[in-house]
Structure 1
Amino acid sequence: MTFSICVRERYTDDEGNDQVRFGVAVTTRLPGVGTLCPFASPDGAIATQSLVNVELGRKGIAYLGDGLAVEDALDALLNADEGREQRQLHGVDAEGTFAFSGEACNDWYGHTVGENYTVAGNLLTGEDVIDDVAAAYESTAHAEIPLAERLIDALEAGHEAGGDKREDLVVQSAALKVTTTEDGELSDPYYNDLRVDATETPVADLRETFETAKRGYETVLERYSDDEGGPDGADDADAAE
Structure 2
Amino acid sequence: MTFSICVHEPYETESGERHHRFGVAVTTRLPGVGTLCPFVSEHGTVATQSLVNVELGERGIAYIDDGLAVDDALEALLNADEGAPQRQLHGVDRETTFTFSGEECGDWYGHREGETYTVAGNLLTGPAVLEAAAEAYEATAVRDELDPSTGPAAVTADVDTDPLAKRLIDALAAGDREGGDKREELSVQSAAVVVETTESHPVEPPYNDLRIDATETPIADLRETYDLAVRGYRDTLARYEDAYEADDLAESGE
Asked whether the two chains share a fold, i.e. TM above 0.5, the reply is yes
Q: Does the Cα contact within 8 Å between 2:205 and 2:233 map onto a contact in 1?
A: no
Q: How many angstroms apart in 1 are the aligned matches of 2:210 and 2:248?
A: 23
Is residue 172 of structure 2 the alignment partner of residue 155 of structure 1?
Answer: yes
Which 5+ residue runs of structure 2 have no aligned equivalent? 143-159
> Please, what TM-score do these two structures have when normalized by structure 1?
0.93
Q: Does the Cα contact within 8 Å between 2:203 and 2:237 map onto a contact in 1?
A: no
Residue 162 of structure 2: which of 127, 145, 149 is its match? 145
Change (3 A) 1:61 1:215: same
Letter in 2 for 1:137: Y
Is residue 225 of structure 2 the alignment partner of residue 209 of structure 1?
Answer: yes
Q: How many angstroms apart in 2 are the aligned matches of 1:92 and 1:187?
A: 26
Equivalent in the alignment of 1:218: 234
Residue 230 of structure 1: which of 245, 248, 253 is its match? 245
Change (3 A) 1:193 1:88: same
SS of residue in 2 equivalent to 1:191: helix
Q: Deviations over 1:78-130 (max 9, x none)?
A: 00000001000000001100000000000000000001100000000000000
Equivalent in the alignment of 2:181: 164
Q: Does the Cα contact within 8 Å between 1:4 and 1:25 map onto a contact in 2?
A: yes
CA RMSD of aligned residues (A): 1.9
Which 5+ residue runs of structure 1 have no aligned equivalent? none
Q: How many angstroms apart in 2 are the aligned matches of 1:103 and 1:26?
A: 21
Letter in 1 for 2:184: E
Q: How many angstroms apart in 1 are the aligned matches of 2:164 and 2:43?
A: 16
SS of residue in 1 equivalent to 2:179: coil
What aligned pairs does 1:39-54 form with structure 2 within 5 A after superposition? 39-54=39-54
SS of residue in 2 equivalent to 1:90: strand
SS of residue in 1 equivalent to 2:10: strand
Q: How many angstroms apart in 1 are the aligned matches of 2:244 and 2:59?
A: 35
Q: Does the Cα contact within 8 Å between 2:188 and 2:216 map onto a contact in 1?
A: yes
Equivalent in the alignment of 2:13: 13
Q: How many angstroms apart in 2 are the aligned matches of 1:5 and 1:234?
A: 39
State, as a whole percentage, how many aligned pairs show the same letter. Answer: 66
Letter in 2 for 1:155: L
Q: How many angstroms apart in 1 are the aligned matches of 2:202 and 2:209?
A: 9
Q: How many angstroms apart in 1 are the aligned matches of 2:247 and 2:27?
A: 31
Equivalent in the alignment of 1:177: 194
SS of residue in 2 equivalent to 1:229: helix
> Please, what TM-score do these two structures have when normalized by structure 2?
0.88
Q: Does the Cα contact within 8 Å between 2:202 and 2:245 map onto a contact in 1?
A: no
Q: 13-22 or 129-138: which moved more?
A: 13-22
Q: How many angstroms apart in 2 are the aligned matches of 1:70 and 1:36?
A: 19
Change (3 A) 1:213 1:232: farther
Q: Does the Cα contact within 8 Å between 1:174 and 1:196 map onto a contact in 2?
A: yes
